[in-house]
Chains A and B, each alone.
Chain A
């Protein structure tokens, strides 16, 4: 079973329905003890970083997620859920993240290197450019996925599996061993998104060590 972390932030409905369509068993919970039994954890999230961390902290989910990451089982953060995996963010005030991945979360500057301004949020379909190979990308061509975010990860290139071009190179899929994140919404990204989630489900079902 895949455990979806329910901490009051965001649209669990779409994510859970996507897993259902893919035939994956899942449950939603905010209870660390129950979630600890999951074969894989999905951390969704929409909203502000600080609010989300406050929620995780008050529910006792922060130490749980850190322990879970050490257990070696797959952990996938989506959108804000991905951002929470990093060290900190300055969205609505500075907040510490889960520090499972190296780097910080910063606002899009809204101006590119040539001084051209662009719109924020980064909203819509953008094309993935593959970087460091990952089993998440197996059998999937570089194609468009749906992004909605105003903040992006500043991180090491060695953990970036796919990026998108929006004013700068935006980390789109990141991972270090079993800890993975997607900045876009796979559950809203048509067939490509479904295929990415399918690969995540396969990881949770296989005995492959990540």
Chain B
């Protein structure tokens, strides 16, 4: 059967990895190519690059980053951030990325999902959802613009619509859990995973190896993404995978 995937996420600004990574032995800890190679060696199954550049120049630099990463990396990677049009998707995918991730742009213009899926195939289109629990409504609502703007969509309904429109995968971030290191949001993750027919990547809240196990077992996630615990060496991809193996999870 297919394995559960562990996906480190790298934030890239103006072509450089930010949130610094505390590794010894890297010549340049801000170099996306070198970090990608590091995670590949560690056993990462995929990588996600999030372009957080604010400028037009930064976006152009990202295309160059994608090219260099694609030239050296033999595992798949997704690029998100600042992808607002079919043209943006083309630029990133032609530079060698395997998938693009759409967030705010997909909410603003859902046709973008269908256009992208028709043009590149559903397997290239990841829809990223930032979700936060609403006490009054009693469910998770979708937020856009980096979590600053609340929409009237529920996470489950939006995930279903995105898949209907051609999303091949859902990258689901719990804003409630993000940064807390208390574990992935298992209720949200399983609710979305049970509601859609495509793989779901759990994101937000990873603090230790056990949290990954929970995401896959109770959370029904197909993959799990983390940033800081890998970057700051609180654990490693290898450690997480060894733990998962010991708990009988099918991993690579």
Q: Is the CB of B121 within 8 A of A124?
A: no
Which of the segments A95-103, A181-189, A201-209 contacts the partner chain?
A181-189
Q: Is the CB of B74 within 8 A of A165?
A: no
A-B contact count (CB 8 A): 96
Given A13-B95, A110-B197, A185-B76, decide whether A124 and B222 contact each other with a Cβ distance below 8 A: yes
Residue B130 lies at the interface, judged by CB distance under 8 Å to chain A: no
Given A13-B94, A124-B45, A125-B5, decide whether A148 and B74 contact each other with a Cβ distance below 8 A: no
Q: Is the CB of B93 within 8 A of A124?
A: no
Q: How many residues of A contact B (CB 8 A)?
A: 37
Q: Is the CB of A187 within 8 A of B95?
A: no
Residue B157 lies at the interface, judged by CB distance under 8 Å to chain A: no
Q: Is the CB of B40 within 8 A of A126?
A: no
Minimum C-beta distance from B196 to chain A (A): 8
Q: 0/1 per residue, A107-133, Cβ < 8 Å to B?
A: 000100000010111111111000000
Please name all residues of chain A whose beta carbon is closer than 8 Å to the beta carbon of B122 when the two chains form the complex.
121, 150
Q: How many residues of B contact A (CB 8 A)?
A: 33
Residue A24 lies at the interface, judged by CB distance under 8 Å to chain B: no
With most chain B CB atoms within 10 A of its CB, the pick from A48, A149, A191 is A48
A–B pairs, 19, beta carbons within 8 Å: A13-B67, A13-B71, A17-B96, A46-B121, A46-B124, A122-B2, A123-B198, A124-B5, A124-B223, A125-B5, A125-B252, A126-B3, A146-B75, A148-B98, A165-B1, A166-B2, A188-B74, A188-B75, A190-B74
Q: Which residues of B contact A (CB under 8 A)?
A: 1-3, 5, 40, 45, 67, 70-72, 74-76, 93-96, 98, 118-124, 168-169, 197-199, 222-223, 252
